[in-house]
Amino acid sequence: MQKSSSDPQAIPDSYPPCFRPNTQQYSPQIVDKLDDRENEEDPLPVIDLRSIDLEKLEDACTDWGIFRLINHEIPLNLLSELHEHAARIFEMGFESKQQLFASIPTSALSYFWGTPALTPAGVALYKDDNHQKDKGTVNYNWVEGLNVPLTQPPHLQLDGHPLIRDLRILLEEYGGHQARVAKSIFDAILPNLKLCDENERYLSPSTGHLRVYRYPRCFYDKPTKVWGMEAHTDSSVLTILNQYEVGGLQIHSEKDNAWIDVKPIPNTLLVHLGDMMQAISDDKYKSVKHRVKLHRESERISIGYFVFPEHDYLIRSSNYRPFTYSDFRVQVQQDVKTLGTKVGLSRFKSNKDF
Ligand SMILES: O=C(O)CCC(=O)C(=O)O
Ligand SMILES: [Fe+2]
């Protein structure tokens, strides 16, 4: 099981103050407790990267927008080392983490908490307070994370911080694998997309970045909802996720109009199709809606790889007016800030006049 320290004081000190127990200010409830369903089979399609079944892949993209990937050839010890290393960093006192990361360029790595929404510079983007619906509602996603762009020269100015330098080295190796996996999947999907020639511009490795998340244990149980990450779709072309030992991810099945628990299965990855894939495919494939629930018993660590089109590449499709990923990102940032939520692709529908 993932480490959830036996010293009850040790963990809360590492949490952002309002995530700690005995804080009177908020009284959120765990939306769903760690339950037996996580041990049941889930119905997600499984794709074998060593020999991709193209028909199955097409069905997974059309019907689910997410699939489980096996035989990805990422060394198991790389994954476990990464998780251990990340856990060691997250376990540091909150104030020490803040201090440490303040001295590191955000182009190498940035620390955030309470929201997965970041500015392009890697700084946490909080909703405007006046858009919170209810007083006493938790305004935060119960998450802290590291954002790691993969384009920087290795080990940039990190020699004074061996723990961070070593994490970045591991993440670069992991990022290399993820870029390989993403390209193989995209190449397999490509014949179904009927794109113009500039295929490589739709999936640009230089846009790749990693997010390492910790979802702290949630200590409260009064009836206000709180999520590790609230329901959303990813903006990416592809997201490749590793949830390690502790589950919590749920996806929304449009077909059944139901939330489904996605079980953590060792040595498998989850591939999500994101908003850019939905636009590129002219809505043939759907960007899958998902969220993360919390646990009282265990904290959870997950690592996501996100890859995008070249930021200034004009995406043309019949359902959307031409737009670039940069246009999309600006709109998302504006909506999160002013409306408190991402509106997403509907902003760019050709028959809408937003
Ligand atoms: O931690 C997870 O399982 C999901 C993270 C996620 O949805 C995201 O980063 O967009
Ligand atoms: Fe996501």
Q: Would the pTM count as exceeding 0.90?
A: yes
- ipTM computed for the complex: 0.99
Res 44 pLDDT > 60: yes
Res 102 pLDDT > 70: yes
Ligand 2 geometric centre to CA of 24 (Å): 30
Atom in ligand 1 nearest the alpha carbon of residue 211: 9
In-domain check, residue 332:
no
The DSSP result for 20-75, as a single string, is STT-SS---EESS---GGGGS-----EEETTS--HHHHHHHHHHTSEEEEE-----
Res 108 pLDDT > 80: yes
Query: With a 6 A CB cut-off, is 271 part of the ligand 1 pocket?
Result: no
| Exposure letters 172-198 (e unless 16+ CB within 10 A, then b) | eebbebbbebbebbbebbeeebebeee
Query: With a 6 A CB cut-off, is 301 part of the ligand 1 pocket?
Result: no
Token output for 69:
């990937």
Query: With a 6 A CB cut-off, is 211 part of the ligand 1 pocket?
Result: yes
Q: How far is 181 from 189, CA to CA, in rounded Å?
A: 13
Q: How far is 91 from 106, CA to CA, in rounded Å?
A: 20
Using most ligand atoms within 8 A of CB, pick from 290, 291, 305 the residue to mutate for ligand 1: 290
Output the residue whose Cα is nearest ligand 1's atom 1.
302
Percentage above 90 pLDDT, the chain = 64
Query: With a 6 A CB cut-off, is 229 part of the ligand 1 pocket?
Result: yes
Query: With a 6 A CB cut-off, is 292 part of the ligand 1 pocket?
Result: yes
- Number of independent structural domains in the chain: 1
Q: What is the mean pLDDT of residues 200-206?
A: 93
In-domain check, residue 117:
yes
Q: What is the pLDDT of residue 93?
A: 94
Q: How far is 13 from 21, CA to CA, in rounded Å?
A: 10
Query: With a 6 A CB cut-off, is 241 part of the ligand 1 pocket?
Result: yes
In-domain check, residue 351:
no
Ligand 1 geometric centre to CA of 288 (Å): 12
CATH of the domain at 139: 2.60.120.330
Q: Residue 307 contacts by C-beta under 8 Å, 6 or more apart in sequence?
A: 178, 179, 182, 203, 204, 205, 207, 208, 236, 237, 238, 239
Instruction: Name the residue range of residue 258's domain.
Output: 17-30+46-318
In-domain check, residue 8:
no
Ligand 2 geometric centre to CA of 83 (Å): 19
In-domain check, residue 165:
yes
Q: What is the mean pLDDT of residues 18-40?
A: 61
Q: What is the pLDDT of residues 125-180, one digit of tens each?
A: 887 765 555 555 677 899 999 999 998 665 566 777 888 889 999 999 999 999 99
Atom in ligand 1 nearest the alpha carbon of residue 262: 3
- Least distant ligand from the CA of 143: 1
Atom in ligand 1 nearest the alpha carbon of residue 213: 1
Most confidently predicted of 67-71, 102-106, 295-299: 67-71
The DSSP result for 86-110, as a single string, is HHHHHTS-HHHHHHHHHTS-TTT-E
Ligand 1 geometric centre to CA of 17 (Å): 22
Using most ligand atoms within 8 A of CB, pick from 112, 147, 229, 336 the residue to mutate for ligand 1: 229
Ligand 2 geometric centre to CA of 234 (Å): 5
Q: What is the pLDDT of residue 223?
A: 47
Query: With a 6 A CB cut-off, is 141 part of the ligand 1 pocket?
Result: no
In-domain check, residue 6:
no
In-domain check, residue 346:
no
Q: What is the pLDDT of residue 151?
A: 81
Q: What is the pLDDT of residue 32?
A: 53
- Least distant ligand from the CA of 288: 2
In-domain check, residue 194:
yes
244, 87 contact by CB (below 8 A): no
Most confidently predicted of 115-119, 160-164, 198-202, 231-235: 231-235
